[in-house]
Amino acid sequence: MRIGAGWDFHRLVPGRPLLLGGVELPCDRGEDGFSDGDVLVHAVIDALLGPAGLGDIGSNFPPGREDLRGISSMVLLERTMDMLRGEGLSVGNVDCIVALEEARILPHVPAIRASLARALGVAPARVSVKGKTREGLGDVGEGHDPDGARGRVGEAAHEGARPLDRHEEAALCAV
Ligand code: MG
């Protein structure tokens, strides 16, 4: 069994959709980014690539590569899954935390779980998405990006991705 962790952080800016796990949430701002900026998918991708020994999202999908400009992060996740399958790996479960002050994710959690589960090739019950705020503390809570410019920031952390060798899957079912 392998366990990975991923983390990502995007500034929220006007004029962009707020995407989490391939689902657009109602919000007047969205993640800035070279791709569509889906911060949760980026964190999941890193959590999958690490334990597979396949590098990270930046090395596989470098920002600045023109064919990746504006690309759906769900497409990047599909490509990541192709790479994992090529190594004989599959996903056991993922457990995600999204810290976000501006939008409440709870009503959208079922859709986000279903969307990620579809891409990961697992049942929605194997995908956990938890929402947190920072209670007004820190950069996320204050709504300031690290440069002090006005703008909310979003953050997603992902822990416990367990890409498994196929023969290990039965063991995972007991987790
Ligand atoms: Mg990112």
- pLDDT reported for residue 164: 40
Rounded Cα distance between 135 and 18, Å, is 20
* Neighbouring residues of the ion ligand 1, judged by CB less than 5 Å: 8, 42
- pLDDT reported for residue 12: 87
Rounded Cα distance between 157 and 95, Å, is 9
DSSP structural state of residue 59: H
* Centre of ligand 1 from the C-alpha of residue 159, in Å: 16
**Distances 68 to 78, 98, 102, 156 between C-alpha atoms, Å:** 14, 24, 28, 21
* Centre of ligand 1 from the C-alpha of residue 137, in Å: 22
* Centre of ligand 1 from the C-alpha of residue 128, in Å: 20
pLDDT, tens digit only, all 175 positions of the chain: 888 888 888 888 999 999 999 999 998 889 999 999 999 999 999 999 999 999 999 999 998 999 999 999 999 999 999 999 999 999 999 999 888 877 788 999 999 999 999 999 999 999 999 888 766 666 555 554 433 333 333 334 444 444 443 333 322 222 2
* Centre of ligand 1 from the C-alpha of residue 167, in Å: 32
* Centre of ligand 1 from the C-alpha of residue 143, in Å: 18
Query: Are 125 and 67 spatial neighbours (Cβ–Cβ below 8 Å)?
Result: no
Rounded Cα distance between 144 and 92, Å, is 36
